[in-house]
Structure formats: structure tokens, C-alpha cells
Structure 1
Amino acid sequence: MRLTSKPVLCNYYVTYRCNARCSFCDIWEKPSPYIKVGDVQKNLQDLKRLGVEVIDFTGGEPLLHREIDVFLRMAHEMGFITTLTTNGLLYPKLAHRLKGLVDMLHFSLDSSSKTEHDSGRGVACFDFVMESIQVARQLGERPDIIFTVFKHNLSQLEEVYQQITQPNKLMLILNPAFEYNGVAAGEQLTEAELRYLSGFGKRKGVYLNEGFIELRRDGGNHTNKPVCKAATTTLVISPENELVLPCYHLGTKGFPINSNLYSLYHSKEVNALKQLEGRLPACQGCTINCYMQPSFAVEVNKYFWKALPSTLKYNLYKGTWKRLVGL
């Protein structure tokens, strides 16, 4: 049973440029412009008309955009829930400009070891994450730590939890790694490792979408009966101001928006691609978290029920439900 036919999320790529070189990501390899204020303003108006509730300003590294605070302020004042994930390199410098504008602020941290974290990210950013935590707390912000989980760093979870997130009263978000477009995530987690991760997710101050675990046990998305609803739950806007379908990671086609996002989204050509969500050959076995999370939220099935407890836990902790009901 589908709960809503409206899209709920916009992944808004402000630029593909990045000041890190993560081994599990290829976005930073792409040439990229930066989004423009006028386009963002018009697109946000259309996103509101379409029913979108959450805007994730992403990249690349979103803090590389000099006007990122302008975009966040516009979205925040329009009533959107705003999210942003950063490697921390620029946050201490920009923190005062961002104060109060990001509902879900995430700092990426994949190890309690400076050497291991910096090696995976391809740049020395561990110390900046530690500084970012302190700066954010001094400003009264409530950031989260997002930990991308691989087989090789699973053993680091305990130390990150005990030494970093719990002492600083931060939520630890567990983000199981996924493969796409030939970008490898390493050896897949075993059933025993998935059980460990699932158990860890039940701890105080930890968020793990159990739907992610269940989907991996099931072998990912299946094209004959797709769980992925990427194209109808999520709008992807590129730095070139194009609507990308069916999702960024497949990106089979980009449609120039030309100040007409609302009509474009309902056009015949876009609707035809929406019908292929989760059914393309590359969709087989997909476990991409950023599209599965909204997919689990809009259709009542086993993944919906698996995801629901952690979703409620996180939204109660962050207080984002108040934004949804206008409090």
C-alpha cells in the first residue's frame, strides 16, 4: 500500500567538487559548476508545490559553495527540513553563518583512528571533524556523526561510540557502504556482521535503519519486484540545474529545468522514466541508502516496518517532527 504519491525528498547537488578524495566515491572526479541563487529560489518554490518536505544540500562537499548559507536560509524559512553532510574541513570557518539553518547536520567520521580515517578520505580531515564537533556544540548546534560502515572498519564502531559520540552527546548514524557504477565498497558484510551491526543500532544514541540490513539480507533491490521508489520519492537536481532520473547514481538522463521544475516533473517524458524506477538492469541488487530510505517511508511493506522504529527514534531525538507539523 502506497502512503503518498508525492515526492518527499530533494537531493540538491550544489556542486560535484570536493576537497576530499574518498576511495568509495567518484563524485569528486567530475568537473562541475556551482548552483545559482536564482535557480535555487525558483526550484524551492516548485519543490514546495510538489510536496517535498526535506532538502538535502549535498555534493561533492557542499560547504565549498560560497552561498550555501543563503540556500539553507531560503529552504529553512520556507519550512523545509534541511540536511547537510560535510567532511568537516570548512565547517569551523563557516559555522557561525550556518547556525540554526541545518536541521540535520552530519559530520563524516569512519574511524577513531586519525590515520585510518584520513587514509580512507584521501585528505587529513580527522582533526577538523574533532574541531567541528566542539565548534558546533559551543554554538548550541546538535550535529550527528555519520559512520560509513565497511568490513574493515566495523571494529572501530565501539571506540567511536565510547570515545567520541557518547561523551559529546552526539547521535551516531550507521551508514552501511554500498556499491554503484563500479565504485567498490569492499567485501560485503557477513550475516554475523550484519547481526552485530543490527544489535549496535539498538543502543542509546545510535541510529541504524533496520530496513538497510533487511535489504542486504534479501540481496538488494530486485527488478521483478522493486522496493526502490527513487524516481517518485526523490528529486535529484544537478549542479547544471537539471532534473536527473531515475536517480543520481544511475543518472540515465538529465532534463534542463529552465525555471519550470513543477511542470517538468509532471511531463510525459519524465513520467515514463519514473515508471522504470527499480526496474532497470543496473537496479538489480542495488542497496543505495539515500534512495532506499525514502522508498521505505512511502510504501507499507516489511521494509517500512523494519525502518519505522529507528525513524521515529531519530526524529524524536532531533525534534524534526516539530518542523513537519509547523511548530
Structure 2
Amino acid sequence: MTTVHHTAITTTTNRVFATGACDQTRYVHDPLTGLTHRAEGLIALGRTRLPGSSVASWPTLHPGELDREVPVSVCWSPLVRCNLACPHCLDDKAVPELARKDRQRIAALLGESGVLAVDISGGEPLLLRDLGELAATLTSSGCVVSVTTNGWHLQRRAEALAGQVDAVRVSLDGPDAESHDHWRGSGSFRRAVAGARAAVAHAIPTQLQTVLMTSTQGTAQRMVDLAEELGVHGVTFLQMLPIGEGAALADAELLTDEQARATVAELDIPDAVTVRLRTRDDAGGFTVIRADGRVWRNDSVAEGITTLHSLTNPSDLALTGRDGSA
């Protein structure tokens, strides 16, 4: 079950969510937080506008609890190119990128598959000139779309993104330039903060994301305070996964899920901010589509992958294992 720290939400703003039904259960996926909630009462199915405060108050559930043939949500990394070189990156930089027409093919397959939500990541997705086209293909098929970005190019692209995506998640590894730029390079904090401010100014639902490691654990409270200052919705703390390039840091930087929970439990969280912790247990079974168009699933403890096969038709996303993958 996803670990969430709830706070009192003061906003009543309607946002776009993805909704679905299995048997007698109706559920709502939030493209901003990545959480799936059990709906209380009847709701329309598909892309639906709902009050964010209402959805946040509904109980969360692990998508693996639902009897679905495909995941509720997936991460799609259509490129490995990035303007930064973060040592804890999950990507394998040796993976080849598909051509533009093949990216459109993947977007169409995802739209046909029955997946409710797609987080477009990377690499750095704002380097894609066809990002808007990919998002349009997905949203026209009924998906909700979020973008996870390092924020470097977000300020100049925020106005266009406001009409293209349902949420933006800005990656920050520290609450100030010294701590963040240690991981991501000089100037990264300034650009990311400017991008987050621009996204908020253009009314894009915006979330901060930070990888929780031994080195960043001590700045968690200041990350929450920064979220309040920027006016974003909240912070998601992501337990570091020893996958991709980040595997080299595992011995020095991995926290246990129990240590991560204790860190979040001690936070003083303002009323206007939400905080989520995604543990490695939560990330078990999650589905990723790589830049080469191949599908992987995290293993049950999110320390490796269990499958790797090409995405050539919607059935390639099937949860054949029925092991709680989501």
C-alpha cells in the first residue's frame, strides 16, 4: 500500500483526473501525485474534472489490488538524452532512441491499451520537440498525462505545456543551490525553481519530487518549506532505486523503507502542502516503457527488472503475472 502523509487541503480547485471501475469499485488516479484513490460515490469514467481536495480525502489503494488487465499508470521515457548528468539516474544511457514516427506509434499504443495515466519522463522530456504531439495523442485517447522534468527548460515551455499536459513534476534534490547543484550541476537549482514558478503561474498542477537518500534525508523539512514558498501542490519523496546508473550509489545512499517512513513522519507539514512517500515496496511491479520501445517491470522489491520485451501491440502491457504490478 502506498504510504501517504495527509494534511488538510485548503484548495478546492478542480483538476483533471483519470477514473475507472473494476467490479463494484470506482477509482481515481491523480496524475500529479501518482496516487490511486478509491472513489466515494458515483463518478464519471474517463478523463474527469474533480475537486482536488475531495480526491485527496479519499482512501488510497495500491493499483495491484484492482482486477485490471493492464496497469493503471506507466512511466514512459521516450528519450535518454538529457542536459544534465545525475549520478542517481535510473536510465541506461546505452539504450537507443526511437525515431519521431515510432514515438507516435508508442503513444498511440499506450492510448489504445486501457492504461489510465502516462508519466512522460526521460532523459529530459522537455528536449522533445514533439512532446505536445505525444501528449495530445494520449489525452485524446482518454489518458491523463504528467511530465517529470529537471526544470531546466520549464520556464520557457510552461505556457505551451499548460494546454498540453495535466500535471508537471519538477525534480529537486535539495532546497537550495548548494545542495541541489551538487547532484545536478551549476545553475540547475535556479532554473528548476524558475520553472516551477512559471508552471504555477500558468495554472499547471505542479509537484516537487526529490530522491530520498542518505545525503538528502536531512533536507526533507526544508524541501517541504520550499514547496509552500513556491506555491506548488506538494512534495513526493522517492526512495532511491538501485537501478540504472544509480546502482553505483546504492551502498552509500540507500535508506531502508523504515528509515524513509520515519523521516516523513517527523516532518512539520503546512496545511497547503501534501507529502507523499513512495517506498521501494510501492515501486515494486511498476511498468516502464524505455526509449527503445521496450517494456520493463520492476521486480517486487524494485531493485531490478523482471521482464524486458518490445511494445508492439496493447497486449504487451498485460499484467500476466497478476503479482500486484501496477
Q: TM-score by structure 1 length?
A: 0.66
Query: Is the contact made by 2:172 and 2:180 (CA closer than 8 Å) also made in structure 1?
Result: yes
Amino acid of the structure 1 residue aligned with 2:91 = I
Q: Determine if the alignment matches structure 1 residue 189 to structure 2 residue 255.
A: yes
Q: Determine if the alignment matches structure 1 residue 242 to structure 2 residue 294.
A: yes
Q: Secondary structure at the match of 1:112?
A: coil
Q: Determine if the alignment matches structure 1 residue 200 to structure 2 residue 274.
A: no
Task: Note closer, same or farther for the CA distance 1:198–1:176 as it changes in structure 2 (3 Å cut).
Answer: farther
Task: Note closer, same or farther for the CA distance 1:253–1:72 as it changes in structure 2 (3 Å cut).
Answer: same
Task: State the 1:2 CA deviation.
Answer: 4.1
Task: State the 1:29 CA deviation.
Answer: 3.6
Task: Note closer, same or farther for the CA distance 1:28–1:180 as it changes in structure 2 (3 Å cut).
Answer: closer
User: How far apart, CA to CA, are the structure 1 residues paired with 2:239 and 2:204?
Assistant: 25
Query: Is the contact made by 1:21 and 1:123 (CA closer than 8 Å) also made in structure 2?
Result: no
Query: Is the contact made by 2:108 and 2:137 (CA closer than 8 Å) also made in structure 1?
Result: no
Q: Secondary structure at the match of 2:216?
A: helix
Question: 1:94-139 deviations in whole A, cap 9, x for unaligned?
Answer: 2222113222211111212202211111453111012112211222
Task: State the 1:50 CA deviation.
Answer: 2.8
Task: State the 1:75 CA deviation.
Answer: 1.4
Q: Determine if the alignment matches structure 1 residue 133 to structure 2 residue 201.
A: no
Q: From 138, 142, 165, give the equivalent of 1:79.
A: 142
Query: Is the contact made by 2:241 and 2:303 (CA closer than 8 Å) also made in structure 1?
Result: no
Q: From 45, 53, 65, give the equivalent of 2:116.
A: 53
Q: Determine if the alignment matches structure 1 residue 145 to structure 2 residue 208.
A: yes
Task: State the 1:87 CA deviation.
Answer: 0.7
Question: 1:258-315 deviations in whole A, cap 9, x for unaligned?
Answer: xx4125456xxxx8xx54x87xxxxxxxxxxxxxxx84xx6xxxxxxxxxxxxxxxxx
More strand per residue: 2
> What are the within-5 Å matches in structure 2 for residues 130-279 of structure 1?
130-162=193-225, 164-170=226-232, 171-180=234-243, 182-185=247-250, 186-189=252-255, 191=258, 194-200=261-267, 204=271, 205-209=273-277, 212=279, 228-230=284-286, 234=287, 236-244=288-296, 250=304, 254-257=308-311, 260-265=312-317, 274-275=320-321
Aligned-residue Cα RMSD (Å) equals 3.2
Question: 1:9-32 deviations in whole A, cap 9, x for unaligned?
Answer: 232211111111112125264353
Q: Secondary structure at the match of 2:229?
A: coil
Amino acid of the structure 1 residue aligned with 2:236 = I
Counterpart for residue 303 of structure 1: none
Count of residue pairs the alignment pairs up: 254
Task: Note closer, same or farther for the CA distance 1:2–1:26 as it changes in structure 2 (3 Å cut).
Answer: closer
Amino acid of the structure 2 residue aligned with 1:238 = R
Question: 1:141-174 deviations in whole A, cap 9, x for unaligned?
Answer: 2211112111222222222322x21122211222
Counterpart for residue 11 of structure 1: 75
User: How far apart, CA to CA, are the structure 2 residues paired with 1:177 and 1:255?
Assistant: 24
Query: Is the contact made by 1:15 and 1:35 (CA closer than 8 Å) also made in structure 2?
Result: no
Query: Is the contact made by 1:55 and 1:80 (CA closer than 8 Å) also made in structure 2?
Result: yes
Counterpart for residue 94 of structure 2: 30
User: How far apart, CA to CA, are the structure 2 residues paired with 1:73 and 1:134?
Assistant: 24
User: How far apart, CA to CA, are the structure 1 residues paired with 2:74 and 2:268?
Assistant: 26
Counterpart for residue 55 of structure 2: none
Task: State the 1:252 CA deviation.
Answer: 6.4
User: How far apart, CA to CA, are the structure 1 residues paired with 2:125 and 2:215?
Assistant: 27
- Aligned residues: percent identity? 20
Amino acid of the structure 1 residue aligned with 2:313 = L
Question: 1:211-236 deviations in whole A, cap 9, x for unaligned?
Answer: 72xx6xxxx59xxxxx9434xxx3x3
Question: 1:236-269 deviations in whole A, cap 9, x for unaligned?
Answer: 3322233345679845664344xx4125456xxx
Task: Note closer, same or farther for the CA distance 1:241–1:49 as it changes in structure 2 (3 Å cut).
Answer: same
Q: Secondary structure at the match of 2:170?
A: strand
User: How far apart, CA to CA, are the structure 2 residues paired with 1:31 and 1:189?
Assistant: 28
Note the residue ranges of structure 2 that are not aligned, 5 or more in a row.
1-63
Counterpart for residue 34 of structure 2: none
User: How far apart, CA to CA, are the structure 1 residues paired with 2:259 and 2:303?
Assistant: 29
Q: TM-score by structure 2 length?
A: 0.66
Counterpart for residue 133 of structure 2: 70
More helix per residue: 1
Q: Secondary structure at the match of 1:208?
A: strand
Q: Secondary structure at the match of 2:183?
A: helix
Question: 1:54-86 deviations in whole A, cap 9, x for unaligned?
Answer: 111111111111111111122122221111111
